Amino acid sequence: MAESDYPKPSVTVDITIFAIKDNDLKVLLIKRSIEPFKNMWAIPGGFVRINESLEQAAKRELEEETGVKDVYLEQLFTFGDVERDPRGRVITVAYFALVNSEKIKLEAKTDVSEAKWFSVSKLPKLAFDHEKILQYALKRLRWKFEYTTVAFSLLPKKFTLTQLQKIYEIVFNKKFDKRNFRKKILSLSLIEKTKEKKKDVSHRPPQLYSFRRKIGDIVEII
């Protein structure tokens, strides 16, 4: 296992960035300004620098695109088919991120012509093998919502059970029974009542809850 004398592939990271906006699950895409796939939409990404880890590269790209740090970020899969990039051998390590839509200020420093949020139910045709990457990310995202506490990373410190339920309904694109949902969540002992209720609502003021752990802590609940 001596150092390789063969030509090396290039390595990129691509990040599927999800957010919940306008009661919908969105994904951030950029419009390519150069060939190949000029003017097509693509998942944001870029080359891994020689002195940064994969996760650092993903975080850097993410911050360049959305201006946010401290979001949920997870490695997804590495795509390395020989023909996946017409320019040559490019292996891409795919990540997915979940950002809090309130914190995003789009296009901080992007060098791309356009960046836009798309509903996952109305996606354009994508460059490279990005359609495959995105579908894979979506599947994993749903898995994470089902079996971990990622959902809480999208909520403010104090939140109502209805806010939480809304997020699940958007991600899974289906309605849940209010009573059963609450029973389930409360039985996990992950959250606790605060002493406050939400004010200035034109109906019965809902109880505010808080997550019992550090924000950003993701726990398996399998």
Catalytic positions are 114
Cα 66 from Cα 37, distance rounded (Å): 23
Q: Is 207 in the site for DNA (CB under 7 A)?
A: yes
Of 33, 26, 133, give the one whose Cα is nearest residue 78. Answer: 133
Q: Is 202 in the site for DNA (CB under 7 A)?
A: yes
Q: Is 106 in the site for DNA (CB under 7 A)?
A: no
Q: Which range, of 4-12, 148-156, 169-177, 199-207, touches its own copies by CB under 8 A?
A: 4-12
DSSP string, 95-126: EEEEE-GGG--S-SS--SSEEEEEETTS---B
53 binds, among DNA, its own copies, none (CB under 5 to 8 A by kind): its own copies
The minimum distance between CB 7 and its own copies, in angstroms, equals: 5
Q: Is 38 in the site for its own copies (CB under 8 A)?
A: no
Cα 36 from Cα 129, distance rounded (Å): 13
Q: Is 180 in the site for DNA (CB under 7 A)?
A: yes
Q: What torsion do the CA atoms of 62, 98, 84, 123 make, to the nearest 10 degrees?
A: -110
The token pair that represents 80 in the structure block: 């390395």
The minimum distance between CB 133 and its own copies, in angstroms, equals: 14
The token pair that represents 212 in the structure block: 């019992």
Cβ of 86: how many Cβ atoms within 10 Å? 10
Q: Is 53 in the site for its own copies (CB under 8 A)?
A: yes
Q: Is 218 in the site for its own copies (CB under 8 A)?
A: no
List the one residue from 24, 31, 40, 46 that touches its own copies (CB under 8 A): 46
List the one residue from 17, 18, 43, 45 that touches its own copies (CB under 8 A): 45
